[in-house]
Structures are given as C-alpha cells and as structure tokens.
Amino acid sequence: MTEKQSKSALQKNSSDKAKANADKQRRFRERQKEAGKKLVRGYVSPEAKACYDEIREKTGWTDSEAMSNAMRLMYASYKCGQIKLLTEWLRKNNR
C-alpha cells in the first residue's frame, strides 16, 4: 500500500467511526424522549423536572446557578455526614 492509499483508508475508517458514534447518540436521545425524559444537563424524569422547575421559580436562579448550588448542597451534606438525612427528607416530601 502506498502512503496515499493508507492515509485515505485511515480517514475513511475514522469518518465511519464518527458516523457510527453520531448514530448511537441519536438513538440514545430518541430512547430518552420516548421514556418521557427531558434534557436539562442530563436526562431527567418528569418528577425531577418538576422539582427543578419549582426550584428555579422560587429562587430565580439561572440554570448554572441552580446546578452549582445543587452541587454545593450535595457536597456539604456529604462532608457533614447528612446524605441520609437529605435523602429521607426528599422521600418524605415526595421529591
């Protein structure tokens, strides 16, 4: 094989992989939509989306602020050993 032919074969192989990956991602997004999930920063259930919307309405936070504060809350709960307490509150309040 000449150098030109091997470069051509390599380019074709990488474009085939990219197309296969794009198709796989498209199928994943379609399955999530069919399951009733919506993309926020990841696919979430309708119940989680309702909680997310409620938090945004009550606080007036932007998407990035809500995500940042959620991560801070989870980290603080973890560091203080309160994950179980937080989880119980969420369950008790149907969240």
71-92 pLDDT per residue, tens:
898 888 888 888 888 889 888 9
Collapse the DSSP code of 31 into the 3-class scheme (helix H, G, I; strand E, B; otherwise coil) and give the result: helix
∠ CA 19-20-22, nearest 5°, is 65
Higher pLDDT, 95 or 65: 65
Residue with tokens 């008790």: 92
The pLDDT of residue 12 = 66
The pLDDT of residue 10 = 59
Contact between 59 and 66 (Cβ < 8 Å): yes
The pLDDT of residue 3 = 63
Decide: pTM greater than 0.75: no
